[in-house]
Structure 1
Amino acid sequence: MIRLYDSHGVCLETPASQDLALPQTACWIDMIHPSPAEELQVERLIGVEVPSRDELRDIEPSSRLYIENGAAYLTASVVSKSETDFAEIADVGFVLAGGRLITIRYAEPKAFAVFAANTAREFAGLDGRDVLTRLIEAMVDRCAEVLESRSRRIDALSTEVFSRGSASNPEAVTRDLEATLGVIASHQRTIAKVRESLMSLARVSGYLQTMPDIIGDKALKQRCRAMAVDIQSLSEHADFISENIIFLLDAALGLISVQQNQVMKVLSVAAMVFLPPTFIGTVYGMNFQDMPELGQPWAYPIALAVMAASALGPYLWFKRKGWF
């Protein structure tokens, strides 16, 4: 799919044939899951090569940020599906050529949808350079929204975890905490993807400040500098949230261990309480002929009393120590 936007944010008609000329007012060509035919069509319209999906996956900086034949090629890793439990990273390609911006993407990050919905308000006689910087800003803003949302959810989850730890049913608490581990893992995955996206956007914003088209425009260069500062602040905030998640994970695992120890403590107390009576019963259960007590009428009640006393003694001792 190909969408065209002019300098005023109006979505133009999508080219339907290979012979259709590119409108002069078009400043942004958004390629979504482009087919090979659509890639060739845009290459004919713009006169520059469009990166393939495999080329967008290259991780070398020289393959993600470079200038070739007068066109600037940039690739950014953008967080996608952040609203779900399985956030992903999508590689988005940017080609700045002839005052126009071409974006190539095989995912639909929310930043693009929000930016496209506000094009009529955001655009005002802009060219491809302005669209590129504003689009990167939208991605940074989206990362900030994800961090803010996840931070609130993690705070609520922290309160829930520690309130569960004070419950009286160890088995139920353990089950709930084990289920919470999956939620914590989901938060950690999303924050990790956001951090990866911020690192990629930091490289892009740094490269933008060295591009001749940006250096010559004071306003654009200042916007790129402000963008770099925002990315640095968000990266630090993401590190802080990640540390909170690690603490929450350790706390959940610790509470699970405490609840399991409670169960083992009960079993240990029960074993110690019944061990002495079992020993006494075992002794008098032996079939030896010369056992003096066997012939006495008081032997049986005395044995029962000793067994009860030997069980009551450990029970009272553990009770005094506050084991249960």
Structure 2
Amino acid sequence: MIRLFDPHGISLVTPEAGEAALPETVCWADLVHPTPQEEAQVERLIGVEVPSRDELRDIEPSSRLYIENGAAYLTASVVWKSETDFAEIADIGFVLAGQRLVTIRYAEPKAFAVFATNAEREFCGHDGRDVLTRLIEAMIDRCAEVLESRSRRIDTLSTEVFSRGAVKNPEAVTRDLEATLSVIASHQRTIAKVRESLMSLSRVAGFLQTLPEIASDKALKQRCRAIAGDIQSLSEHADFISENIVFLLDASLGLISVQQNQVMKVLSVGSMVFLPPTFIGTVYGMNFQDMPELNQPWAYPIALAVMAASALGPYLWFKRKGWF
């Protein structure tokens, strides 16, 4: 699918593949899951080659940021599906050819949808260079929204984790904490994807400042510097959130260990309480002939009384010490 926009942010009608050339007034061509025919249409319009999906996946810096045939090729890794428990990274290609921008993507990050919706207000009367820098700003804003949302959810989760200490049922607490571990892992995955996205966008912003068409425009150069500053601030904030997640993970594991130790303590106390009665019963269960008290009428109740006293003594002692 091809989405076309003119310099005023107005969406243009896309002709069918192979039927006609794209309008010359195109400022931004957004290729979403493009077919070979759609790629050929755009290549005829901008006069340079459009990178394939496999080329976008290349991780070498020289293959992600370069200039060829007078056009600048940039590839950024952008976080998406951040609302779910399994955030992912999508490789987005940018081709800046003269006054036109072409984006190639096989995913639909929310930043693109928001930016396209507000296109008329965002880049009225500008060219592809302005669209590119504003698109990067939109993706950075999206990263900021994800970080803010996750930060609030982590704070709420932290309150829930530490409030479970008042619950008297250790088994229920342990089950809840074990379920919490998967939620923490989801938050950590999303934050890691955001950090990866910010790192990639930082490289793109740095490369843009080296382009003559950007460096010669004071407003665009200043915007790129502002973008680099925003990325640095968000990266620091992402590091802070990651530290909170690590602390929450350690705290959850510690609370699980405490609950498990509590169970083991109860089992240990129970063993110690019943150990003396078991010893007495074992002694009188031996088949020796010379055990005079066995023939006495009071032997049985006395033995039971001694067993009860030997069990009650350790119980009261542990109770006094507050071990359970």
Counterparts of residues 143-162 of structure 1 (less than 5 Å): 143-162=143-162
- What is the SS of the residue equivalent to 2:148? helix
Counterparts of residues 66-215 of structure 1 (less than 5 Å): 66-215=66-215
Cα deviation, residue 19, structure 1: 4.8
Check conservation: 2:140, 2:231, Cα contact below 8 A. yes
Check conservation: 2:17, 2:38, Cα contact below 8 A. no
Cα deviation, residue 15, structure 1: 2.6
Unaligned runs of at least 5 residues, structure 2: none
- What is the SS of the residue equivalent to 1:93? strand
Tell me what 1:250 maps to. Answer: 250
Tell me what 1:303 maps to. Answer: 303
Tell me what 2:45 maps to. Answer: 45
The 2-side partners of 1:127 and 1:21 are apart by 20
TM-score, normalization by structure 1: 0.98
Cα deviation, residue 165, structure 1: 2.2
Tell me what 1:57 maps to. Answer: 57
Cα deviation, residue 88, structure 1: 0.3
Tell me what 1:24 maps to. Answer: 24
Counterpart of 2:44 in structure 1: which amino acid? R
Tell me what 1:11 maps to. Answer: 11
The 2-side partners of 1:128 and 1:11 are apart by 14
Deviation track 1:216-271 (CA, whole Å, cap 9, x = no partner) reads: 00100000000000000000000000010010011111111111111111111111
Work out whether 1:229 is the aligned partner of 2:229.
Answer: yes
The 1-side partners of 2:123 and 2:195 are apart by 29
Q: Which moved more, 1:101-110 or 1:21-30?
A: 21-30
Cα deviation, residue 305, structure 1: 1.4
Counterpart of 1:26 in structure 2: which amino acid? V
- What is the SS of the residue equivalent to 1:116? helix
Check conservation: 1:2, 1:15, Cα contact below 8 A. no
TM-score, normalization by structure 2: 0.98
Counterpart of 2:261 in structure 1: which amino acid? N
The 2-side partners of 1:290 and 1:14 are apart by 108
Cα deviation, residue 320, structure 1: 0.8
The 1-side partners of 2:17 and 2:231 are apart by 41
Counterpart of 1:126 in structure 2: which amino acid? H
Counterpart of 2:71 in structure 1: which amino acid? A
Paired residues in the alignment total: 324
The 2-side partners of 1:211 and 1:307 are apart by 90
Cα deviation, residue 122, structure 1: 1.0
Cα deviation, residue 46, structure 1: 1.6
Tell me what 1:260 maps to. Answer: 260
The 1-side partners of 2:242 and 2:165 are apart by 22
Counterpart of 1:271 in structure 2: which amino acid? S
Cα deviation, residue 164, structure 1: 1.0
- What is the SS of the residue equivalent to 1:297? coil
Check conservation: 2:22, 2:41, Cα contact below 8 A. no
- What is the SS of the residue equivalent to 1:257? helix
- What is the SS of the residue equivalent to 1:165? helix
Q: Which moved more, 1:36-45 or 1:103-112?
A: 36-45
Counterpart of 2:183 in structure 1: which amino acid? V
Moved over 3 A (4+): none
Q: Which moved more, 1:298-307 or 1:145-154?
A: 298-307
Cα deviation, residue 295, structure 1: 1.5
The 1-side partners of 2:305 and 2:84 are apart by 65
- What is the SS of the residue equivalent to 2:175? helix
Unaligned runs of at least 5 residues, structure 1: none
Cα deviation, residue 205, structure 1: 0.5
Cα deviation, residue 21, structure 1: 2.6
The 2-side partners of 1:46 and 1:264 are apart by 72
Cα deviation, residue 323, structure 1: 1.1
Q: Which moved more, 1:175-184 or 1:104-113?
A: 175-184
Identity between Structure 1 and Structure 2 (%): 85
- CA RMSD in angstroms, aligned pairs only: 0.9
The 2-side partners of 1:106 and 1:231 are apart by 24
The 2-side partners of 1:205 and 1:271 are apart by 67
Check conservation: 1:94, 1:102, Cα contact below 8 A. yes
Check conservation: 2:195, 2:235, Cα contact below 8 A. yes
Check conservation: 2:79, 2:109, Cα contact below 8 A. yes
Q: Which moved more, 1:159-168 or 1:100-109?
A: 159-168
The 1-side partners of 2:47 and 2:235 are apart by 37
Cα deviation, residue 292, structure 1: 1.9
Cα deviation, residue 61, structure 1: 0.6
Counterpart of 1:214 in structure 2: which amino acid? I
Counterpart of 1:161 in structure 2: which amino acid? V
